[in-house]
Structure 1
Amino acid sequence: MTAAGEIRVLLVDDQELARSGLRRILRRRDGFVIAGECADGSEVPAALAAHEADVVVMDLRMKDVGGVEATRRLRRSGGHPPVLALTTFDDDNLLADALRAGAAGYVLKDSPAEDLIRAVRAVAAGDSWLDPGVTARVLATYRQAAGNGSGGRPLELLTPREQDVLRAIGRGLTNAEIAASLVISEVTVKSHIGRIFTKLELRDRAAAIVYAFDNGIVVPG
């Protein structure tokens, strides 16, 4: 983030109209700076080399290099800002591929502006964002596509407090929201999350959400 706490965003979408709409939502007065724009996933590495960014807002469907492949390339290169995928209701399989490629979350293209703002802020803070409107469908598809073995380690490996944190992750809470609900610091939340990932052999926050649903810690709805 900038010295003033603004979140620098790289927009990646092959439609100028879509990027224009995103620019109108992610305004400086609300704490955002558009660090750069790309019309294709192939342009992302050069854009990140030229402009510092805290979050990449990535369309999944583009003509040359799509969002899934662009996200996969960023993950392989290491040291990249988190990716927030843009998707539509009929993109379940594509979305699962994006999560598998390393996207920190997704937001629906027809979501309210407030949801996009919350999603970008959450991802910039190191959290994930899974749109609650289609979470159950995404979880089912993610299980099939990711093959991450989310249910392979017993829940009993976690302390009661770690189970509380995992339940909160499954409900989609950010680190700040978990800290407030459990009356602990965000640093402590991050420590709990690290131990949860290690004990359950989970790759990322999306896998933790899948685990929470698969083991009945959280139920759809």
Structure 2
Amino acid sequence: MLITRHAEARTVLDDPRYVPPPVPQDGREGTLAWLRAHVSRFSTGDPHDRRRRAVVERLASLDPAELRSAARAMTLERGGEWRRVPTEVLGAALGVKDTAAVPVAASGYLSGEGSPEADAAVATLLDQADLPTVTLLLQAYAATEGLIENTLKHAATSVDVEALLHETLRHDPPLKASRRLDTRTGDEVTIDLVAANRDPGVFADPDRFDPSRGRTPHLTFGYGIRPCPAPDHALALAAGVLEGLL
């Protein structure tokens, strides 16, 4: 079932009967498959709650303002070469000295498409950090860089970095869809985040990119019982990079 309306999407995201589709649980320890079986994103019930708490606790030690400043400084130092800046800034804040393995490990994190290279990258990261830290790096990598890339498409419409980011989250989210499994029927549900974020019943003139909207009830950071644990940190990293570029 495909969901495109904002209210229906919120209902699904706030109902515990809808859970992430299960991932294989038999991966060899230290591989990408093993990691996916042990992170909060793909867990349900008590394991999800416990694993999410560990991530939130790790985030509590990070100041978004400091992340923003560091991302801006690194972007300026690199003459606008911003790729990998969010990952390196976050890694440094989390005590991970070498984040070179993150892009390779992240390549199959959402899809589950493993490879020997991804397994080796996961092992490299786990040698440096615990699972909550690696989880944060992998989840932040593609999403934050995707947000920056999409925001830059609209940079000519405004110089207000925060306004640009908030409208990009609504209008052009880096993650286009979210999947859930109905535990009562076994049916898979796909939430079209682009369509839900442009629901004309919620957003006036929804297809127009308009930074003056400010904060809106978009669903890009999730909603309900499984919201993104780090929206402030992601926005801070993205804002710092954009400040360094614009």
Is the shorter-chain TM-score for this pair beyond 0.5, marking a shared fold? no
State the structure with more CA Rg: 2
Normalising by structure 2, we get a TM-score of 0.25
| Higher relative contact order structure (alpha carbons within 8 Å, sequence separation ≥ 6) | 2
